[in-house]
Structures are given as structure tokens and as C-alpha cells.
Amino acid sequence: MIKINNLLSIGVCLLFLGCSTDEKQTVITKTTLVMSEEFDVNGAPNPDLWSYNIGTGNNGWGNNEKQYYTDRPQNIIVENGNLKITARRELYLGSAFTSARILTKGKLEQKYGRIEARIKLPLGQGLWPAFWMLGANSDTVIWPACGEIDIMEYLGNSPTKIFGTVHGPGYSGGESISKNFFLSNSRFDTDFHVFGIEWDENKINFYVDDFLYHSVTPSDVPGDWVFNQPFYLILNIAVGGNLPGSPNAETPFPQSMLVDYIRIYE
């Protein structure tokens, strides 16, 4: 269910933390809750907010991926207070795997703010879950000029590591601006963690559980800063492809990503 409340305000601790002591990072104080998707109604995701990508896309969604995205409850469902996206090893319309990818394009498009989700991730070689965003002009402006903000990406064979990334003109793919975050005493597949950004016209800060680990500003990118426009949200699990490579015999299936909530603050 979407809940809009422009009056709710909560205190936020200011954290000036980074992965190295030479980083100068400032957290934006976005504290007014303007949208919360709590996944509290069982069944299909709310159609007022979410649409589906279906099929194999162009060249496996540009990455030679192996999954067929569906809207079947076997691959995507809301139950027990979570959105559940499940990757399966099965023959389906010519593909060896199925999964799901949903997006808020044309339904919820956000410019600036604190955007976060509480997620538990799957485990296994060849799995690539993500919580990310594309510029709302992606139909008319060819990627990467539309801009991409990867709030959280994760490779299933590295259960203690996630990464946050921006892509734009002159800094996409292997030349993107990215940074890893490592857990020291836990794993992303065994518990829920909060992944988010705080974003304004001059900065995108990335954090895990309120720990700021990556900050990107216009001076950090070698091309145009294309993040001063609305973006829409995407959630998916990719299987195989150039990154992260194919599943192997030890990859357990089915594997699910559980999303407890998504919240946006301004």
C-alpha cells in the first residue's frame, strides 16, 4: 500500500562516516516521509505503483542474461509483509531460468530525496539482485545519457558485499562511478539491511544501515551530471550474463529477494 504523508517528520542522526578517513562527506537531512510502500497487502504488487518488464529484453537486457522475467506469482508476490521476487531454474519460453523485474515508471518518479528499502538478499553464483533507478526520460534519451543510480547491487557469490553506482554519459558500464561496501560481522543473505541514497542537485550519498560509504558529486564524474531530473524505481533479480556469470551446479534454486519496505523522504 502507498501511504502519503507530508506532515510526518522524524529525527535523523547525522553521520559523517566513510570507508576512509580522507573522504569529506555530508549527509543531506531529508526527514519528511512522503511515500511508503510497506507491502502489507497479499497478492500481486500494487498496480497503482508497479508495472512489469516481461521477457528477455534486447540481448538479455543488454547483459546477455539468462532469465525470462514474468509476472507470475511463482516469481513475484506480496506475502507475509514482504515483496518476494524469486529466481527459479526452469525451462520457460526458451529460457533456462525465470525471475521478475518491476518498476514505477510513469507511476512514481522522484527528483531528489532520501530513498531507501529494507531488503534480505539471496545466495548463489550467478544471481544479481538490485534496487536501482533510471531517468524518467529513458524512452527518449538513450542510456546512459538518461542516467542510472544503482542504490544497491549484489552478486550472490559474495554475501558480505554490495555496491552503489552511478552511470551517465562518459562513465557507464566498466567506467561507472562505483564503490563497494563490506559487512564485517554479518551477511546480506541471512538478515535484512537498509539500503539507500540521499540525493540533491549536487550530491548522491549511498549508505547501508545509516552508514555512509560512498558519495558522488558533479566534480567526480567525467561527463555531464544527469541527475537533476525525476527517476523511477526498479527491483529485480537477474540470472547469469556477462556480470555476474552463469549459475553453477552449486547454485541453489529457487532463491528469493525479500523487500520489507520502500520509503521516500524529502
Q: d(Cα 161, Cα 57) in Å, to the nearest integer?
A: 27
- Tell me the chain's radius of gyration from C-alpha atoms: 18
Asked whether 151 and 202 are in contact (CB, 8 A), the reply is no
* SS3 (DSSP) at 146: coil
Q: Considering only the C-alpha atoms of the chain, give the largest distance between any 2 of them, rounded to a whole number of Å.
A: 52
Asked whether 196 and 120 are in contact (CB, 8 A), the reply is no
CB count within 10 Å of CB 76 equals: 26
The residue from 153, 175, 201, 250 that is catalytic is: 153
The residue from 37, 116, 148, 198 that is catalytic is: 148
Secondary structure (DSSP) of 148-169: EEEEEE--TT-TTEEEEEEEBT
Residue with cell 566513510: 18
What are the CA-CA distances from residue 164 to residues 39, 44, 193, 217, 251 (Å)?
24, 28, 14, 14, 24
Whether 153 sits among the annotated catalytic residues: the reply is yes
Whether 109 sits among the annotated catalytic residues: the reply is no
Q: d(Cα 58, Cα 218) in Å, to the nearest integer?
A: 31
Asked whether 23 and 255 are in contact (CB, 8 A), the reply is no
Instruction: Indicate which residues carry an active-site annotation.
Output: 148, 153
